[in-house]
Amino acid sequence: MPHPALLAISHGTGSRAGQAAVAALVDAVAARLPEFEVRLGHVDVQRPDVEASLAALPDRAVVIVPLLLSAGYHVHVDLAEAAATRDDVVIAPALGPDPRLAEVLADRLAQTDAAPTAPVVLAVAGSSDERANDDCREVARLLSARLGREVSVGFLAAAEPRLPAAVAAVGDDAVVATYLLAPGYFHDLTVAQAAGRPVARPLLDADPPASALVELVIDRYRAAVGGHVK
């Protein structure tokens, strides 16, 4: 019996750079799993959407791996409703929170010109689902533990404190860590709202994806199928 297909579902973006960065992550996962069916779909903005992606795999069990940093509306509602139409579809957990995300965030911060002791504000998209916001706060705690200094959270939408208030509260020497998967609207907004403070790159960009992110996607799939993926 073939392994379940790995259907990676991103949020979707109109940014060409963001699209390329997410596709590169999925390509890297597929290269690590050459005997597996690995596909990319999107919950919004891009095509194929979730329904079309599942329809393209009619005779295969499918594990949906959300390429989402927290489990909000898209996981609990959009993906759950799509998966409910079939009894051979399983949804893996969202990518975050996870210590490997803090690892990549710390590496991104080290690449900025900010002082190594600069206070850190973690810029996150924000959600109307407080469970998703709590996931982001947990990543801030993981990053704080890794860096050995305080990390506060600034939301770009839907929750408080908003990023401008968060960076103003910390001071002019703050550095902004970008808890966003890829370039796009929210990263552009982060740069604009950082008011001249250094802004780290998103988790994915034009560079090859960090091995920690590739492993994270594979581990989410592996856990969903009971660990039987080498």
Amino acid at 91: I
Q: Is residue 195 helix, strand or coil?
A: coil
Q: Who has greater pLDDT, 99 or 45?
A: 99
Share of residues in the chain with pLDDT > 70 (%): 98
Residue range 162-175, pLDDT digits in tens: 999 999 999 999 99
Q: Answer whether residue 230 shows pLDDT above 50.
A: no
pLDDT-derived band at 123 (thresholds 50, 70, 90) equals: very high
> Could you tell me which residues come within 8 angstroms of residue 170 by beta carbon, excluding any fewer than 6 positions away?
119, 121, 152
Amino acid at 13: T
**Closest by CA position to 82, among listed 40, 39, 57, 52:** 52
Neighbours of 227 (CB within 10 A): 9
**Closest by CA position to 175, among listed 107, 116, 93:** 116
pTM of structure: 0.93
What mean pLDDT do residues 157-166 have? 96
Residue range 74-120, pLDDT digits in tens: 787 889 888 888 889 999 999 999 999 999 999 999 999 999 999 99
Q: Is residue 140 helix, strand or coil?
A: helix
